[in-house]
Amino acid sequence: MSTAYLGLGSNVSAHSHIAAGIAALLETFRNVRLSPAYLSSAVGFDGDDFINLTASVETSLQPIELKHFLNELEDQHHRQRDAPKFSDRTLDIDILLYDDLYLISPVLKIPRTDIMTYAHVLKPLADLAPNLVHPVCHKTIDQIWQDYAGDRNALKRIDL
């Protein structure tokens, strides 16, 4: 079994899509753990605020298989694959980390570079797994959060 860390986000009927995404993860995987959820402004476009959180799951799926499963789950929630990168999302689930794997392929990059870029990705991950070591920079997720130079105030912790 491997441990994967997943970033979940939504800004379209966000509470219901996030709840459905979490339910699907709980149905499918073992030892699902969830971070607190955060509200943050849309990045790169004008849109409603996003709800973001991180989940860790134990899985026997290989990374590409996991990506396909998550894409199917997003598609069940009417994810628009032809939409611009920065646009509204019914349900967005990304593989942030998968064990200590470093993978660059045409369809998947692990660890996801968003970890280092966006507070709405990094903070929930730091809440869930502060002592986890990033496989590329070799710092703990908490150390990365402590060094984060972006806008930490852009996040508001919320209850789901």
User: What pLDDT is attached to residue 65?
Assistant: 97
Per DSSP (E only), the strands in the chain are 2-10, 30-34, 37-40, 50-59, 92-98, 103-104, 109-110, 155-158
| Mean of per-residue pLDDT scores for the chain | 93
Lowest-confidence region among 2-11, 43-52, 93-102: 43-52
pTM above 0.85, yes or no: yes
User: What pLDDT is attached to residue 59?
Assistant: 98
Q: Which domains does the chain have, with CATH numbers?
A: 2-158 (3.30.70.560)
Q: Percentage of the chain with pLDDT > 70?
A: 95
- Average pLDDT, integer, range 132-137: 96
* Cβ-contact 64, 108 below 8 angstroms: yes
